[in-house]
Amino acid sequence: TTNDNLGEAIQFLRDFDREAAEMCNRVTNSEWKFAINSTEFNKRRMREQQNLASKFECLSWRRAASFDSSTIVDTGIRRQLGRIVEPGRCGLGDDKYAEITHVISLMKENYNNAKVCPYHGPHATAIAAQSANYVTGYATYCDLKLEPDLVQIMETSKVEPELKHYWTAWREKSGPPVKNTFMRYIDLANQAAERHGFNDAGDQMRSVYDDSDFFFTVNDLWTKVQPLYKQLVTFARKGLVRQYGEHVVRRDGPIPAHLLGNMWGQNWRNILDIIRTSPPEMPDITGEMVRQGYTPLKMFQTAEEFFTSIGLPPMAPEFWRNSLLQKSNEVTGNCAASAWDFCNKVDFRIKQCTQVTLDDFINAHHEMTHVQYYMQYSSQPFLYREGPNPAFHEALANAISLCVGGPAHLQKLGLLNTAVSVLNGNTMINIEYLLNLALDKLPFMAFSLALEKWRWYVFEKGPVGMNARWWELRLRYQGIIPPLVRGYEHFDAGAKFHVISDQDYIKYFVATVLQFQIYSELCLASHHVGPLHTCNFYRSREAGRIISDVMQQGASLTSSQLIKLLTRGKTSRLSVEPLLDFFRPLEAWLELQNRDEPVICYFAFTRRFF
């Protein structure tokens, strides 16, 4: 039966607000302990707390679903109830909920435990030789794991047979063993989505983006970016032909996926040295940081000063006392950088095994942006203590990264010592910066879209022919092909963790679009004049007011309402115009570099290259 008692709904949400925050605090504490000290005991305690949280989630879902929200006039109450009822899988019932949890756990376990054999051909990467334990001259332990071994090899090796070996070996170990398990996951996820009022699981995943036409929105956004991306692909392909020869890379065709400096071809920064046409212009920022005596602590103090300079609050004493900002002997867990909200409105932390490098300097600002977001919306009800959609946190953090990682800010800090003013957006330092950033951002957008379009297709149409569909979409959006024939027996999408772990990925596409919108608005507020990528809103209090206004809302506003607030009423929709404006000098430069190259429209092809 449904309950239309408004008073009971209000009391339920009050109770939920308190109990959910307490549960979140217990789970986060257990996850933090395991993250810095990965013992079996801490893992068991973490699993216990996570299981309790799952039970609490489903109990809360049943209670919230019992209210007839159509009779509740108060939109705030109705919206909070909807945020409990619509997501998740609790509509499956206890048995099937336990089954889908178990199915996802099995796939993650296979992924995390997968190991491959080393490559024995000529010029093998030293990483593999060091990681592989040779028993005799003929036998080898196959003990290479994805991280750090395979990731480092794919980033650094220039030996094509070696790259092909590891690319293939990882997909053999990660995909086929869980293919049937993944099919069961599809079935259960779709059943859950239908119980929650959606057509399928893809429809449920898209619902968080507050756009009934979201499927077509992302298509339209990418269509506008694609001309720039094609120029980047053409330029990258030319460099790869020089490196590997036309017998490996066709001058007028798509790029083999194993040559792009990344296991999944989602980030191409590691091939910059291959494709560049002249010696690097950018001075060694990391070396300059070392010479100036930067330490991990100083890097985070510099990040804090950036935020206070635009009017945001400093980090609380608890942050400095509880955060893990550099590697210590006691830390045995994963060193991936992350920001943590302990759900009690006072305890916010960062875990980062910081090295004195430019990348970690930018990461320090990135992670501290997340903490600022936690602090700003901490006064909201628990259900609103997050972004209005999964992309907002990353978008805000990356908008700050665009500022602090740019030549203008580095020159302001005295870390980029050059006689040339970087405010002239067409200098080679600027072009190199933009090229490096484009190799990071644009392939990632294309990969995100291909992955999610594939997943939505599988949820809607079923798993028949899903591997062929995977490569059709990778070709259409990214312009890449597998280095060898792939058949129905393969499951290459399963080589990506987010696929088998049931994690949304289109958020990275949306976050990339949104970060340039945010950056552009902050530059406008700081009265920047000149090419967009030379903007530095450091010390702009007006830019800080906009960031604070957006962050304080949390999820209390919809994403379209928040974009309207961000843009001061100009628009409520995502736009790629700021992204295109940011990269406009690079696009002109790429067109000049590609004037003698065929810019082939092979993105629309499907089976021709298989």
Q: Which residues are documented as binding site?
A: 209, 366, 370, 394
* DSSP-H helix ranges across 136-213: 151-156, 160-174, 179-195, 201-206
Question: Could you write out the three-class secondary structure of 247-285?
Answer: CCCCCCCCEEHHHCCCCCCCCCHHHHHHHCCCCCCCCCH
Does residue 528 have an active-site annotation? no
How far CA 248 is from CA of 98, 160, 473, 482, in Å, comes to 47, 9, 22, 12
How far is 155 from 163, CA to CA, in rounded Å?
10
List, as one string, the DSSP characters of 357-378: SHHHHHHHHHHHHHHHHHHHTT
Which of 160, 162, 304, 367 is catalytic? The answer is: 367
3-class DSSP assignment, residue 203: helix
How far is 11 from 58, CA to CA, in rounded Å?
18
Cis peptide before 148 (omega within 30 of 0): yes
Does residue 498 have an active-site annotation? yes
Q: Residues, the chain, total?
A: 610
List, as one string, the DSSP characters of 473-493: HHHHHH-EE-SS---TT--GG
Cα 219 → chain centroid: 19
Q: Report which residue type is found at 265.
A: G
Question: Dihedral through CA 76, CA 80, CA 81, CA 84, nearest 10?
Answer: 170
Q: CB neighbours of 332 closer than 8 A, spacing ≥ 6? A: 36, 37, 38, 39
Which of 498, 542, 591, 597 is catalytic? The answer is: 498
Structure tokens at 416: 């980029």
How far CA 39 is from CA of 26, 69, 308, 438, in Å, comes to 18, 45, 38, 40
Question: Dihedral through CA 398, CA 401, CA 407, CA 413, nearest 10?
Answer: 160
How far is 520 from 528, CA to CA, in rounded Å?
9
Q: CB neighbours of 8 closer than 8 A, spacing ≥ 6? A: 67
Tell me how far apart the terminal alpha carbons of the chain are, to the nearest angstrom: 55
How far is 443 from 272, CA to CA, in rounded Å?
13
Phi and psi angles of residue 116, each rounded to the nearest 5 degrees, phi first = -125, 165
Which residues does the annotation place in the binding site for chloride?
A: 209
Structure tokens at 461: 């149409």
Instruction: Using the structure block, give the residue that is written with the tokens 């960062």.
Output: 350
Which residues does the annotation place in the binding site for Zn(2+)?
A: 366, 370, 394
Catalytic annotation, residues? 367, 498
